[in-house]
Amino acid sequence: MDKKETYEIGQSYIRFDFEPDEKFKIALKNYLLYRGKKYAKEIYNKEFVVDEFYFLVELDEGSLKSRLKIFGKLLIGSLLTYGGIRTGIDYVIQDSRQITEHIVQDLSNEPSISESTIGRVERRLGVPGKIKRLYKSIDRLNSERENLSPNQQQELIEYISKQYSNLVNSLAYPEQLYLEQDLREYNIPLQIPQDEERQFIYKEFSPALKEENELISEDEIRETTLLPPPEE
């Protein structure tokens, strides 16, 4: 699968409470890449996510805040056959969270790292999280409509439309169509792009396209076992 067709499906944010040297940073990057590859292939449901992934590790300068981003492709058409997109996306999000939990457990078992030095962990959800938040906003509109003023309703509809536009910018053409098909039943006025606009929108805004040169394929990742001790 071409990396241009992928988008972020999960992210593990881990902050460490010590200042590392450059040797440790390089080792940590390789460690996170290998663990990300290992668990993505083991955990993600292959009926929901294409089993070919790309990865990116970001380490902040001046402190040790790490972000392991996993890029792949959701099969939204398959989500529709498993109780709907909303049910299926919950499974994908659960898989992403499980990947982070496994990585944190591995790190805490490293001789050079203890649980006390792992300061903060976040399980960020990429495109699946955007989809979940979109449906949550739609549910809020439907459940609270009678208690909202016309202006409040309009503000919420505009917010939902903005969420949808941001989401469409992250999805390739076939996945956009499946999502639009599912959203029609909610009768919310969304600005659905015309066919001739879609490819331009995707090329202009797709996060994976912006990070294409930095994304690392599975074949480039080698097994990494122990981390060196951080600089005292």
Cα–Cα distances in angstroms (integers) from residue 99 to residues 11, 107, 109, 217, 232, in the given order: 9, 12, 16, 18, 30
Which of 1, 27, 5 has its CA nearest to residue 16?
27
pLDDT of 194 strictly over 70: no
CB–CB of 27/230 below 8 Å?
A: no
Mean pLDDT, range 197-201, rounded to an integer = 56
For the residues 195-203, what does the mean pLDDT come to? 56
Asked if 43 and 99 count as a contact pair (C-beta separation under 8 A), the reply is yes
Exposure class string for 1-20: b at 16+ Cβ within 10 A, else e: eebebbbbbbbbbbbbeeeb
- Inter-CA distances, 62 with 36, 110, 114, Å: 24, 23, 21
User: 206: pLDDT confidence band, cut at 50, 70 and 90?
Assistant: low
Edge-first strand listing for the sheet containing 64-72: 118-124, 7-16, 64-72, 54-59, 216-217
Mean of the per-residue pLDDT values of the chain: 84
pLDDT at 80 over 90: no
What pLDDT score was predicted for residue 18? 80
Q: Among 72-86, 122-136, 170-184, 207-221, which range has the highest average pLDDT?
A: 122-136
Mean pLDDT computed over 221-231? 75
Structure tokens, 49: 């996510």
Bigger pLDDT: 191 vs 202: 191
Q: What is the pLDDT of residues 43-52, one digit of tens each?
A: 999 999 988 8
Angle at which helix 126-144 crosses helix 150-168, to 10 degrees, equals 160
Residue 199 has pLDDT above 70, yes or no: no
Q: At residue 13, does pLDDT exceed 80?
A: yes
More confident residue, 114 or 145: 145
pLDDT category at 131 given cuts 50, 70, 90 is: very high
